[in-house]
C-alpha cells in the first residue's frame, strides 16, 4: 500500500526504530453490524521512501509528496 507523505518526519524517525503500523479506516457509507458505519484495521510493516519507483508513482498523482509510506500489509481486521 502506498501513502503520500508531506511531513511526517517524526513518524519517519519512529518507523526506523519500529516498523510495525496499524492503520484504521472507516466510512459511514457502508452498513455495519449495528447501523451505518464500517471500518477496518490494516496491520503491517512500513517504511518511508524518498526515491525509487514508488515515489514516482505517488508524485504523479500527488506532486506535493516529499516521500511515500510503503506499507507491507500482513493482516486486515474488520471493525464494527
C-alpha cell at 15: 518507523
* Confidence at 35, pLDDT banded by 50, 70, 90: confident
The number of distinct structural domains making up the chain is 1
Domain of 32, in residue numbers: 2-79
Query: For cell 516498523, what's the residue?
Result: 19
Task: Assign 42 a pLDDT band (cuts: 50, 70, 90).
Answer: very high
Answer yes or no: pTM beyond 0.85.
no
CATH number of the domain to which 25 belongs: 2.30.110.10
Q: What is the pLDDT of residue 5?
A: 95
Amino acid at each position: 500500500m502506498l501513502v503520500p507523505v508531506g511531513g511526517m518526519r517524526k513518524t519517519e524517525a519512529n518507523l526506523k526504530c519500529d516498523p510495525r503500523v496499524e492503520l484504521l479506516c472507516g466510512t459511514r457509507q457502508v452498513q455495519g453490524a449495528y447501523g451505518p458505519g464500517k471500518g477496518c484495521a490494516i496491520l503491517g510493516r512500513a517504511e518511508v521512501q524518498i526515491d525509487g519507483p514508488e515515489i514516482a508513482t505517488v508524485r504523479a498523482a500527488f506532486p506535493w509528496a516529499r516521500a511515500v509510506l510503503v506499507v507491507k500489509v500482513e493482516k486486515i481486521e474488520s471493525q464494527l
